Structure 1
Amino acid sequence: MNWLNAMNNAVEYIEANITEKLDIEQVAKIALSSTFHFQRMYHIITGVTIGEYIRRRRLTLATQDIISGEKIINVAYKYGYETPEAFTKAFRKMHGVSPSAARESGANLKAYPKLSFHISIKGDKDMNYKIFNKGSFKVVGKQTRISMVNEQNFNQVPKFWYDCMEDGSYDWISSRASKLGMLGVSKDFDKYKNEFNYMIAVEEIKDTLPKGYISATIPALTWAAFESVGPVTKALHDLVRRIYTEWMPSTGYQHECAPDIEVYPAGDMSAPNYRCEIWIPIKK
């Protein structure tokens, strides 16, 4: 329950300071998480980024201020917009009408309510997992920088796999895969730029690395490994959502500030019976 209370405390902090310049790092601390993993976890659970949630809440509250008669310019500055024009643009994007038109009788407006977090254990599908300790090990492969701004990561990661298949690096990496299989490693999270490095990799090999390939060290950690069954793109995303919304709140584990690893055995990743794993670094 500590995890659940922490997430709700973070939302309450946002609400109490909604007209101030919010420090996401401070919000993440209240949620007992690193900045990156709080942002990632929040998006997985709610379907929106924390920045988008704050924007929608501000515009929802701003609408009530405008309807009650406050000057639009004052409302714009109150909710952190540098100019009335910027506020009007954001307002119109959300509501489909200008702030002044919102005062008219019968105007169609949208409201985005304050979120609260609750445990959701449906029990309609098993979650197969194991917890184990693994010492430090090295991985080698190709790496790219991924941005989470505006959810670009959901397009950039699949594109990186496709690009590696096109340029031949996928074949070079996969031909050197151990019994464990190919790995997708998310690491080096930048809490300020909301970015991380993503590697398509295998466990360290003795071959001399060609130009453009790198080696990275994964620290000794406690891992929770979850089995995913089905086409990778959808099945893995659904699994990660269940890990954060069901498994973590009910077990008391939290995400350790360390890399996440996707483990892909040989096989057709688009097949309905394809089995892979995601390893989440954890701590109590």
Structure 2
Amino acid sequence: MISALNRLVGLVEEHLAEDLDVRGLARGLGTTEYHLRRMFSSLAGMPLSEYVRRRRMTVAAADVVRGEDDLLSIAVRHGYGSTEAFGRAFRAVHGAGLSDVRRDGGPLRTQPKLRFHLTVEGSIPMDTRLVDRPAFRLVGHAARVPLIHQGVNPHIQQHIAALPQEAHARLKALGDAEPAGLLQVSDDVDPDATEGTELTYLHGVAMSRDTAVPDDLDAIEVPAGKWAVFSTAGPFPQALQTTWAATATEWFPSNPWRLRPGPSIVALLDRAADFDAATCELWLPVEPA
């Protein structure tokens, strides 16, 4: 995976002024667009699209400062059809207009070219198992919420708090499949995992395909496949978020598996009375790399 990401960075440099065919690039690198985008975002700390935009504007800034060509020629060279569109993209990255930078030489916000390296860590084993699951359903109460990477997501908190107490007991009684218990499900996540983009959050349970779904509940159909299940315990949600990050930085680069499209599931196994600590399982859909 590390070599694939470095090859991707090289291809970005070769095609900065073009719209990248990420799907074709992923196929050429022996992986999928979904996995490539998710791993890039997790390891680089920014979506692939944002990295491309920053690199494009970093290279373009040198042309603007040199002043050898008119601004329209520079805009076209870097993939923009007008100086207006180029100027908006330039200001969004550098925080300054084209004329100001051409006159003053800055200010500029440079995005260095990324290089991915495998750091040997692994001093803390990851408690993981691989599970084959037939097709099943995730059933419960769904809402569209923004993606937040760190800390408690207040939108999810509000969604759960708005449910009456009897709704939780009802869901527990309906669950008849793995993962067991009440589940926190994230689906329709932006492949770049851009913070602030919307996802579907479902508070619910797993049900077999043979069980009828009540009309007043939402359902997500989950196809048959393999899952990597990561166990975590400690401060909530910090321990869970640390484990989630470690799947990208440690587990996937060290194992012959990659993410496949599908929901990610958190099964809450045990928790403290004030919910400041919890034991959880993180279920991620995977396939052979």
Q: Settle same-fold status: TM greater than 0.5.
A: yes
CA distance in 2, matches of 1:208, 1:251: 37
How far is the alpha carbon of 1:27 from its aligned partner? 3.7
- Aligned residue type for 2:49: G
Is 1:154 paired with 2:117? no
Q: Decide which moves more: 47-56 or 163-172.
A: 163-172
Match of 2:106 in 1: 107
Is 1:163 paired with 2:166? no
How far is the alpha carbon of 1:111 from its aligned partner? 1.0
- Aligned residue type for 2:202: M
- Aligned residue type for 2:185: V
Equivalent position SS for 1:230 = strand
Of 196, 204, 208, the match for 2:207: 204
Residues 242, 86 of structure 1: alpha-carbon distance in 2 compared, 3 angstrom cutoff:
same
Q: What's the TM-score once normalised by structure 2's chain length? A: 0.79
Unmatched 5+ residue regions in structure 1?
Answer: 147-151
Match of 1:96 in 2: 95
Of 1, 5, 8, the match for 2:6: 8
Equivalent position SS for 1:275 = strand
Residues 79, 112 of structure 1: alpha-carbon distance in 2 compared, 3 angstrom cutoff:
same
Q: Deviations over 1:132-155 (max 9, x none)?
A: 323333331123346xxxxx4228
Of 248, 254, 257, the match for 1:250: 254
Q: Decide which moves more: 164-173 or 131-140.
A: 164-173
Equivalent position SS for 1:265 = strand
How far is the alpha carbon of 1:57 from its aligned partner? 0.6
Residues 64, 270 of structure 1: alpha-carbon distance in 2 compared, 3 angstrom cutoff:
farther
Equivalent position SS for 2:247 = helix
- Superposed, 1:1-284 pairs within 5 Å as 3-69=1-67, 70-104=69-103, 107-145=106-144, 152-154=146-148, 159-168=155-164, 169-170=167-168, 172-174=170-172, 176=174, 180-187=180-187, 197-204=200-207, 209-211=214-216, 213-268=217-272, 271=275, 273-284=277-288
Residues 96, 183 of structure 1: alpha-carbon distance in 2 compared, 3 angstrom cutoff:
same
Q: Deviations over 1:158-199 (max 9, x none)?
A: 51452232143556435655682212333456879x875442
- Aligned residue type for 2:9: V
Identity across the alignment (%) = 28
- Aligned residue type for 1:44: S
CA distance in 2, matches of 1:5, 1:60: 24
Equivalent position SS for 1:274 = strand
Query: Is this contact kept in 2: 1:36–1:189, CA < 8 A?
Result: no
CA distance in 1, matches of 2:223, 2:236: 26
Match of 1:149 in 2: none
- Aligned residue type for 2:130: I
CA distance in 1, matches of 2:276, 2:101: 49
Equivalent position SS for 2:9 = helix
Compute the RMSD of aligned alpha carbons: 3.2
How far is the alpha carbon of 1:125 from its aligned partner? 3.1
- Counting matched residue pairs gives 275
Residues 209, 158 of structure 1: alpha-carbon distance in 2 compared, 3 angstrom cutoff:
farther
Residues 222, 248 of structure 1: alpha-carbon distance in 2 compared, 3 angstrom cutoff:
same
- Aligned residue type for 1:251: N
- Aligned residue type for 2:61: T
CA distance in 1, matches of 2:257, 2:33: 17
Q: What's the TM-score once normalised by structure 1's chain length? A: 0.81
- Aligned residue type for 1:59: M
Q: Decide which moves more: 81-90 or 220-229.
A: 81-90
Q: Decide which moves more: 266-275 or 96-105.
A: 266-275
CA distance in 2, matches of 1:264, 1:20: 45
Query: Is this contact kept in 2: 1:9–1:30, CA < 8 A?
Result: no
Query: Is this contact kept in 1: 2:5–2:36, CA < 8 A?
Result: no
How far is the alpha carbon of 1:157 from its aligned partner? 6.5
CA distance in 2, matches of 1:264, 1:236: 10
Residues 282, 51 of structure 1: alpha-carbon distance in 2 compared, 3 angstrom cutoff:
same
Query: Is this contact kept in 1: 2:34–2:260, CA < 8 A?
Result: no
Residues 207, 270 of structure 1: alpha-carbon distance in 2 compared, 3 angstrom cutoff:
farther
